[in-house]
């Protein structure tokens, strides 16, 4: 496994020379850290501060909706005010220049879309989209809910349209993600701990089908086992550098 930018550029340019690159980016919470959104694991991670079983499972929702909604309302406020950072912007430029097609994100913060990226698969949902637990109607929040817990006009309780622990991922979306993973010849993995399935399995599927794997992360994760290149450091610094070298060398 290489750990320098030059090797990374070489891999991408070689694929480009052979024809169109069929790449996707898999992102996790680390890419939004510089936009002031906390990660889940590691120091300052949300799961250090909160027990996920008490705030991120369906049982917890049903047991104490007011407590859980207070937690999520804070998250909605944070995310509505967050702006994309240079890592999100670099990915948009990678897409614009034909170096990647899809973004498969575990993030629920819309920052890829705010940075102008297209074809974003939000496999864990989106916190600003809410849905009724009774009639299933969906809405988009442009500000945090005023009443907690917020209720639908049908009388059902509203919940953010995110995937909680032990819940199934949306079928169509995850099938599409698996299909993209199978067909890819290049995968960029950015800011994810590789601890949550099925998202973490996608790069293994791609590798098995011959794809090259490039990781941008502050630290090594399980995915380094299959990586062709690992670029250590903050992705809001390394991705713009990588993009600049790729476009100007």
Q: Residues interacting with ligand APR, by CB under 6 A?
A: 28-30, 33-34, 39-42, 45, 106, 124, 191-193, 195-196, 217-219, 221, 234-236
Q: How far apart are CA 215 and CA 63, in angstroms?
A: 40
Instruction: Answer for the pair 247, 239: CB distance below 8 angstroms, yes or no.
Output: no
Q: Where are the beta strands (DSSP E) in the chain?
A: 23-27, 102-105, 120-122, 125-132, 138-140, 158-162, 186-190, 212-217, 229-232
Identify which of residues 42 and 116 has a Cβ nearer to ligand APR in the complex. Answer: 42
Q: How far apart are CA 43 and CA 49, in angstroms?
A: 10
Identify which of residues 44 and 137 has a Cβ nearer to ligand APR in the complex. Answer: 44
Identify which of residues 193 and 206 has a Cβ nearer to ligand APR in the complex. Answer: 193
- Ramachandran bin of 93, using left for φ above 0, alpha for ψ from -120 to 50, beta for the remaining angles: alpha
Q: Measuring CA to CA, how many Å separate 77 from each of 23, 43, 128, 131?
A: 33, 22, 9, 17
CB of 248 to ligand APR, least distance (A): 23
* Residue whose CB is nearest to ligand APR in the complex, by number: 30
Please report, to the nearest 10 degrees, the dihedral formed by the alpha carbons of residues 39, 41, 46, 49 taken in order. Answer: -150
CB of 87 to ligand APR, least distance (A): 7
Catalytic residue at 124? Answer: yes
CB of 247 to ligand APR, least distance (A): 21
CB of 52 to ligand APR, least distance (A): 6
Identify which of residues 75 and 152 has a Cβ nearer to ligand APR in the complex. Answer: 75
Catalytic option among 88, 112, 124, 223: 124
Q: List the catalytic residues.
A: 124
């Amino acid at each position: 496994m290489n750990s320098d930018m030059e090797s990374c550029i070489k891999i991408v340019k070689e694929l480009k020379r052979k024809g169109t690159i069929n790449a996707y980016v898999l992102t996790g919470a680390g890419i939004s850290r510089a936009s002031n959104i906390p990660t889940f694991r590691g120091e300052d991670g949300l799961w250090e501060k909160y027990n996920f079983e008490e705030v991120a499972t369906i049982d917890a929702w049903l047991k104490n909706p007011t407590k859980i909604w207070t937690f999520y309302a804070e998250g909605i406020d944070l995310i509505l005010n967050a702006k994309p950072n240079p890592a999100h912007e670099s990915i948009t430029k990678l897409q614009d220049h034909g170096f990647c097609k899809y973004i498969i994100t575990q993030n629920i913060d819309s920052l890829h879309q705010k940075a102008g990226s297209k074809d974003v698969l939000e496999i864990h949902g989106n916190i600003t989209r809410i849905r009724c637990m009774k009639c299933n109607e969906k809405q988009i929040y442009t500000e945090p809910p005023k009443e907690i817990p917020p209720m639908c006009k049908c009388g059902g309780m509203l919940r953010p349209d995110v995937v909680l622990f032990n819940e199934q991922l949306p079928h169509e979306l995850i099938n599409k993600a698996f299909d993209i993973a199978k067909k890819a010849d290049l995968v960029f993995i950015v800011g994810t701990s590789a601890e949550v399935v099925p998202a973490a399995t996608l790069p293994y599927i791609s590798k098995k089908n011959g794809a090259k794997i490039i990781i941008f992360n502050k630290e090594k994760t399980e995915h380094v086992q299959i990586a062709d290149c690992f670029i250590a450091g903050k992705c809001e610094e390394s991705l713009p550098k990588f993009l600049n070298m790729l476009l100007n060398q």
